[in-house]
Structure 1
Amino acid sequence: PGDRRCHVGVAQVDPGRTHRRPPGSDAVSRQEFDNALASQGQAVADVAAGRASVRSARINLGYTDVAAPITGRAGISAVTEGAYVQGNSATLMTTIQQIDPIYVDLTQSSVQGLRLRQDLASGKVHSAGPNRARVKVLLEDGTRYPIPGTVQFSDVNVDPGTGSVTIRTLVPNPQHLLLPGMFVRGQLEAGVLEDALLVPQAGVAHDAQGQATALVVGRDGKVLQKTIQAPRTYGADWVVTAGLDAGERVIVSGLQKARPGAPVRIANGTGASPGPVSSTASR
């Protein structure tokens, strides 16, 4: 294209020069003038063809770069340098994973979800507010991930094999501690249960009918068995919504010797303490 532009420049000058006849001279013929105009037109056509070739080459060169539609990290390459790939064959070249932020899919029992919706409707549980649900992630080694995530949506289908619903959350991952395929546990804070007690799991038992019970220290200093409502857990504790009163002491050790009506010897003041608790769904 550069050479052709030079030719055009020469051709553009020639007609003007030949057309200006020196004084008293009639040396330029009409044929030479027409030849100069034809040469100019040919040069212009050559430049246009050259520009079209450059554009075509740039387009073909662009096909050698495959731009990723997302930001992330690429995995192992599925092809080697120099391998032939084409768009219409859908050749897998590599897999790109979005790392920060990263999606964490949790599963919640459909029974837990139904109970939570019923508690929210009845007023037993107060909603955390629109777009306020938070998720806390526990890593594979049991340590707590330092940054909480947010709930994106809950699936509308229940898995018939497991009876669970998938909840998708979005968790910031600036240090890349979370990797695709990693197994984690999550605690979803969907509402606040104001009047609830936390009781250590060791202090709650279930009878043959599945009813939760607890052994407490009565006013007379003897063992008293109470039937309680413990619909869910929170961390290492049971969430007790009914059956216990604030300030009651729950027996958590020596349960093999504890029988209703037997005297109790309190060691180190071990017992349960009341307090508000968040309603959670654990995976």
Structure 2
Amino acid sequence: MKSKPHAVVTGGAGFVGSHLVDSLLDDGFQVTSLDNFGSGRPTNLAHIESERFASIEHDVREPFPDLGDVDYVFHFASRASPKDFESHAVEIALTNSEGTHNALRYARDNDARAILASTSEIYGDPEVHPQHEEYNGNVNVRGPRAPYDESKRFSEALAVAFQQQYDVDIRTVRIFNTYGPRMRPDDGRVIPNFLSQALRGEGLTVYGDGTQTRSFCYVSDLIRGIRAFADAPPEVAAGDVINLGSTDEIKIRTLAKTILDVLDADSDIVHQNLPEDDPQVRQPDITRAKQLLGWEPTVSLEAGLERTIPHFADELDTTVDSSQ
């Protein structure tokens, strides 16, 4: 009988994936990361020295290699930055379709529990606020965000089909805006944008009038929720879907001012046109996570930013040094 469970994490070198790898290793798991390093970075895993960890360069759009006995498959591979939605549209669509098929098939063949990373983007520009799990969303299937939004929606449909046809224990987490160390300065999402611009002394780019809202969850809170959902007994969580994110909704223009206050910076705020199909509101209803898991975020935005800023300061120093 195995003494340590084995978890496979696709996208294990990514922002969220690498923090998940750390959490699993801390709890004694054997962990294998599969990542093609398209957006994930080997440096996110460079600190790991455990003999229970293996990093394999692999594209999930291809069938998985033989990894031995596996107990959990965490499918977290996919580019998630809006700036990649156009430049890597086909890759994103196939990672969340064919890649998900490979991940779920591998879980089925190994009788493993699967945890699928979905996204708040499946709600599109929502007409229901806050967004609860029963809401089907308002997505433009031909819009610039569709390769990500629609492929994530398909991945959920495929998960339900596998659950029904093969009786695989598949759990889906819809991840709302998350931030923290290991995000790339050029990630393109709002907190990396604002922190990078402020640290460089540049103006902060706010799209539209900045009244659109988001809810930002610090990465340690997110990982705690993912782990609780993954570890819950089948009678509680098998086949279910939950929102994970902060309920503290904030206007983007207020976020910009908060970041300037935390950094004690005096950068200007520069307004540009709002991107096509940019959601106007985004806030999760986390009632289900509270009831099933007793989970809710505990890290405030200001505290999370304080923990995140040193990473960005170091990354930007590294970038400058490497270019000289």
Q: Considering the TM-score relative to the shorter chain, is it more than 0.5?
A: no
Structure number with the higher strand fraction is: 1
Larger RCO (CA within 8 A; separation ≥ 6): 2
Q: Is the radius of gyration larger for structure 1 or structure 2?
A: 1
Compute the TM-score of the two structures, normalised by the length of structure 1. 0.20
- TM-score, normalization: structure 2? 0.18
